[in-house]
Structures are given as C-alpha cells and as structure tokens.
Chain A
C-alpha cells in the first residue's frame, strides 16, 4: 500500500466504525428525501393548475420543476452537514496526539493531507450515490433528460469536494472539533454571501470578481445543465488552494 492508500484505509475505517457517519448520512438522506418529496408534490400541483387553465395535459419538465430545486437545496444542506464530517480530520489527531505518530513516520505531510481529503470525499461520494436512488425511482414514473441530472450530480460532487477541503483546512487549525466546524461554517457562509454581494454589484468589475470567487454562480450554472470548463476549474482550483492551506497549517503547527 502506498502511504496515501494507508491513510485513506485508516480514515475510512475510523469513519465507518464511528456513529457520526451514520447519523450524518441518515439526516442527509432524510432531508434530501423530504425536499424531493416537496418538489414532486409542488410540481404535481403546478401541473394540475396548468391543466385547469389550458385544459390540456401539460408536459411536466422534471428537470426544471424537480431536479433543479432539489440540487439547489442539496447544495445548502451539504453546506451545513459537511463541516461536521471534516471537523475531526486533524482536530482529533491533535487532541489525541496521534498527529505525533503521523508526523514522525516516514511519510510526507502532503501524503497525509491528500489521504485525509480523499477519504472524506469517498465518504461523501457514497452518500451522493445513495441519493442517486431519487432520479432512479422517478425515472420509473416519468420521462426526463438524464444529462442535466448527471451534470447536477457532478456539480454536487465538485461543490462538496470544495467544502470538504475547506473543512479539512479548518480542522488543521485547531484541536477543538467544534471550533473547526464553526470555522468551516464561517468560511463557507462568507463564500456564499460574497456571491450575493456580487449579484448586487451587478455587471461591474467588482461584481464579476465577487461572483467568480463565490461558488454560487458556478454551481447554479452547472445545475442548469451547462457544463463549462471554467466552472470545473473553479472548483478544482478551490480544492487545490485549500489543500495547500491545510498543508501550510500543519507545517505551521509544528513550527509553533
């Protein structure tokens, strides 16, 4: 096993023997299920209304009426839930002093950071795959275009990976898991609000810069079914920046 694989295997083991993943996963899936149920009911009632007005059988655009609002809601649900998944990554190692084992082993800080990030991305991917049951179930009853759904899931994966890397960095800053979670909430919320500010500033230079920094616009575009390289690059570079920041934080911790 390579050092990165070793770290991943251990992290996954720790995730799945602790109740946290199951609790977080259950809450996540329940909330997403409720949101979807609401969206489907809402879409149904809209279709009924259309039918009454036009007196014809309306075509239900599932992508627009169900998946888009569900993906938008899911992006917010993960903003609340993912910091709880990442908070333990380094904070717990620092608290239990197991970080001393990692840093005195013949393995680089880059491998530790990469392994930890990949492990939590894997856990998150498992949760996402489980929510894939939603479109699968719906496809039994209605026809819809699968492409925007796949792009939506890709957006959720990239969005989640970015949030997880923020959480990883926050966890590297402290030995208190609660503080780590709050730092990541703060960072994620700020990034979100920057997007709102950018929308407020409109088509000015400041507006477009703010909109670029925030994930809001990038995410919204992808959820509409538009797969643009710049949005993918935005998320990947966000992950890279946070990976580097976490690496620096661990180095700084040793020098303190």
Chain B
C-alpha cells in the first residue's frame, strides 16, 4: 500500500529525513514512533503529497506521488498534526466541502456524510460551528474528514495528542474498528498507543529509521536479563552482597529512590522470584515488595533513540533487513 524508497528531505542545511526506505502492506496497522523533531511529520507530509521529497520516491496504492499525484491522493485519508478545520463552518458544511474536495459525487455524498458522522460520534454536534467545539470534538471532525471518501489508506499524525483520557480511549477504539477495512499508518510518541494498536512499529530518530519490528519483539530483542525490584524493611549493611550469593543473580544495584530498594538482575530465562522471596523471608529483613521490572517499549525507545552508541548491532542488522 505504501512504498517509500530512499527518501531524503533537506531543509537548507538541516536534513529532516535521511535515506528512509520502508513499505506497508495492505491491511497493516503501522506506528511511526519517535521523539518530537524526529521526522515523523515530515515523512507523513511527503507520503500525502503535501511536501515533495528532496530525493527518493513515494508510491501509494501503486501510484507514484510525483507522476500521478491526483490518483494517489484520492486513496489517502490524512489527519495532519493540526486538524485542518475551518472554524467558521458547521460540522456538516465542513464535511460536505471536504467530501466534494475529495471527489465524491452529489449522489453518494449524503450517505457517506451520515456514515462518518455516526462512525466518529458527531451526531449531536452536526449543525454546530466548529469554532465552538471542544478539542476532542475537533479531533473527531478531523478524523471524519480523513474518512469521508472511504480511502483504503489512513495516515494519522498524532491522532490522540491533546485529548483527555476518555477521548483517547474513544479515538483508539475507533481506529481499532477501522483496522479491518483500512491500512493505517499513525505516528505517536505515546508508546502504549503503539503497542495497543499496531502490528508493527517503525522507530524513527533524527530522520533515520532506527528499528522496524513488532512491539513485542523489539522489547525482547533489547532485553538482556530479567530485572526485579526488591524492597525490604531493614536491610543489613551487606545485604546487596548476600543477594549475589543466590544462584542466577548477576548484579545487584541499590535503587535510586530509596535505600531499602534493590534492583536485582538475573540471567535471562532464570526465574529467581521464588528464591529471592524465600531468601528475604529467611533472613528476616522484612519483605515489603518484589516486582518484575520488564523492559517496556519505553525502555526500548529510550535505548534506541537516546544516543546512537546505544544501538545494539542486533537491532541495526534487523532494521536494515526489514527496510529492504
């Protein structure tokens, strides 16, 4: 559905995108993950034909964006970072305008309008002026605008940003419902969102693709050991050293926030929770807490994007393989 080949975008001396290559298959839900300024929005703008790439080519549904822009654009529903709303129009007027703009005929327009209004839950505000709507409703109008012509591909730039938790859940549910019939590419810097919604994550950092994989495998790939947090009431002086005598324990760090907590690292595949608990109880230090510290996508993300040296060779090779 999307085919991006060696796309580079240069703004003066600043290289916003550097030789980005990836593909999205029909029916997939893919997340673009990256910190602000990583190049997510620039990539989406190039995909939708808003910006031309400095180098490289982009094709959507088999249509080259440079040579057949109208055919390609007809197949894309795009929700930009800022929903493109005319504040003086009513929801109904606005969606009618967008529908015509996307090339819907007057016969199918009313039907499509009813459908997206219902899909995005805008029935109650249909005849209200957009400028008077709350942030959450505006975001929904933005989404309705992207859906009006029933495009096979949806490109959503930070669809849940600035919404309250209830609204976020609603928008996510809507995206999930759309998943079956549409290919969706969304950008986010909220990691659970990527895990909850997407089958594949493309991590983009400083204009380059840092990794491409499923959320689970990305986490697994970067996990080198099992981590546990142990909190006790009265740890003796040499408690950390004594923990090291337990079979399987590799390292013990005092926890930063409290002197009673310890971060215990064990060999990969070694479940030492039982041993740790028994040890703590037997030594009478007063066991308060024992938690599994799993490597979340957040940790993966920080590792991948915080400094380039942190990129492990395993991920690099995987990224380059996935991008071919």
* Binding stretch for chain B, among A1-9, A52-60, A77-85, A119-127: A1-9
Find out whether the CB atom of A101 lies under 8 angstroms from the CB atom of B49.
no
List the B side residues contacting A104 at CB < 8 Å.
Answer: 48-50, 73, 76, 78, 80
Residue B98 at the chain A interface, CB threshold 8 Å = yes
Given contacts A103-B50, A104-B50, A106-B70, contact A9 B85 (CB under 8 A): no
List the A side residues contacting B84 at CB < 8 Å.
Answer: 96-101
List the B side residues contacting A101 at CB < 8 Å.
Answer: 78, 80, 84, 98, 101, 145
Residue A107 at the chain B interface, CB threshold 8 Å = yes
Number of residue pairs spanning A and B whose beta carbons lie under 8 angstroms apart: 78
Given contacts A101-B101, A104-B73, A104-B76, contact A10 B86 (CB under 8 A): yes
Residue B74 at the chain A interface, CB threshold 8 Å = yes
* Interchain CA distance A86-B81 in the complex, whole Å: 27
Q: Of the candidates B71, B73, B88, B100, which one forms a contact with A1 in the assembled complex, judged by CB atoms under 8 Å apart? A: B100
* Binding stretch for chain B, among A12-20, A132-140, A190-198, A233-241: A12-20
Give the distance to chain B from A113, nearest Cβ to Cβ, in Å.
15
* Interchain CA distance A88-B26 in the complex, whole Å: 40
List the B side residues contacting A230 at CB < 8 Å.
Answer: none
Give the distance to chain A from B64, nearest Cβ to Cβ, in Å.
15
Find out whether the CB atom of A9 lies under 8 angstroms from the CB atom of B102.
no
Given contacts A14-B86, A18-B88, contact A108 B70 (CB under 8 A): yes
List the A side residues contacting B69 at CB < 8 Å.
Answer: 106
Find out whether the CB atom of A9 lies under 8 angstroms from the CB atom of B80.
no
Find out whether the CB atom of B100 lies under 8 angstroms from the CB atom of A96.
no
A interface, by DSSP: helix, strand, loop or mixed?
A: helix
Name B100's closest neighbour in chain A (CB-CB): A6
Q: Of the candidates B86, B88, B89, B101, which one forms a contact with A105 in the assembled complex, judged by CB atoms under 8 Å apart? A: B101
Given contacts A97-B82, A254-B50, contact A102 B89 (CB under 8 A): no
Residue B97 at the chain A interface, CB threshold 8 Å = yes
List the B side residues contacting A3 at CB < 8 Å.
Answer: 100-101, 103
Residue A141 at the chain B interface, CB threshold 8 Å = no
Name A103's closest neighbour in chain B (CB-CB): B50
Chain B: how many interface residues by the 8 Å CB criterion?
32
Find out whether the CB atom of A105 lies under 8 angstroms from the CB atom of B102.
yes
Give the distance to chain A from B95, nearest Cβ to Cβ, in Å.
12
Candidate in A18, A101, A254 with the most chain B CB atoms within 10 angstroms? A101
What 0/1 readout, one digit per residue, does chain A (230-256) give for beta carbons within 8 Å of chain B? 000000000000000000000000111
* Interchain CA distance A224-B61 in the complex, whole Å: 60
List the B side residues contacting A14 at CB < 8 Å.
Answer: 86, 88-89
Given contacts A6-B100, A13-B93, contact A100 B74 (CB under 8 A): no
* Interchain CA distance A18-B89 in the complex, whole Å: 10
What 0/1 readout, one digit per residue, does chain A (168-205) give for beta carbons within 8 Å of chain B? 00000000000000000000000000000000000000
Find out whether the CB atom of B88 lies under 8 angstroms from the CB atom of A107.
no
Residue B238 at the chain A interface, CB threshold 8 Å = no
* Interchain CA distance A163-B88 in the complex, whole Å: 26
Name B51's closest neighbour in chain A (CB-CB): A254
Find out whether the CB atom of B97 lies under 8 angstroms from the CB atom of A10.
yes
Find out whether the CB atom of B88 lies under 8 angstroms from the CB atom of A17.
yes
Give the distance to chain A from B131, nearest Cβ to Cβ, in Å.
10
Find out whether the CB atom of B78 lies under 8 angstroms from the CB atom of A13.
no
Find out whether the CB atom of A96 lies under 8 angstroms from the CB atom of B97.
no
Residue B161 at the chain A interface, CB threshold 8 Å = no
Question: Which residues between 89 and 112 of chain B lie within 8 Å of chain A, taking CB atoms?
Answer: 89, 93, 97-98, 100-103, 106
Residue B87 at the chain A interface, CB threshold 8 Å = yes
Find out whether the CB atom of A1 lies under 8 angstroms from the CB atom of B74.
no
Name A99's closest neighbour in chain B (CB-CB): B84
Find out whether the CB atom of B101 lies under 8 angstroms from the CB atom of A254.
no
List the A side residues contacting B73 at CB < 8 Å.
Answer: 104-106
Name A18's closest neighbour in chain B (CB-CB): B88
Residue B248 at the chain A interface, CB threshold 8 Å = no
Give the distance to chain A from B113, nearest Cβ to Cβ, in Å.
14
* Interchain CA distance A101-B157 in the complex, whole Å: 13
Give the distance to chain B from A107, nearest Cβ to Cβ, in Å.
6
Candidate in A98, A105, A107, A256 with the most chain B CB atoms within 10 angstroms? A105
Find out whether the CB atom of A254 lies under 8 angstroms from the CB atom of B89.
no
* Interchain CA distance A96-B98 in the complex, whole Å: 16
List the B side residues contacting A255 at CB < 8 Å.
Answer: 52
* Interchain CA distance A256-B14 in the complex, whole Å: 12
Find out whether the CB atom of A96 lies under 8 angstroms from the CB atom of B86.
yes
List the A side residues contacting B85 at CB < 8 Å.
Answer: 96, 98
Find out whether the CB atom of B80 lies under 8 angstroms from the CB atom of A97.
yes
* Interchain CA distance A29-B88 in the complex, whole Å: 25
Closest 7 A/B residue pairs (Cβ) = A101-B84, A6-B100, A98-B84, A104-B48, A106-B74, A106-B70, A106-B73
| A-B pairs with beta carbons under 8 Å apart, 12 shown | A9-B100, A18-B88, A96-B85, A97-B81, A101-B78, A101-B145, A104-B48, A104-B50, A104-B80, A106-B69, A254-B51, A254-B52
Apart from A101-B145, A107-B103, A254-B51, what 14 extra A-B contacts exist at CB < 8 Å? A1-B100, A10-B86, A13-B97, A96-B85, A97-B81, A100-B45, A100-B50, A104-B49, A104-B50, A106-B71, A106-B103, A107-B101, A254-B50, A254-B52
Give chain A's interface residues, CB within 8 Å of chain B: 1, 3, 6-7, 9-10, 13-14, 17-18, 96-108, 254-256
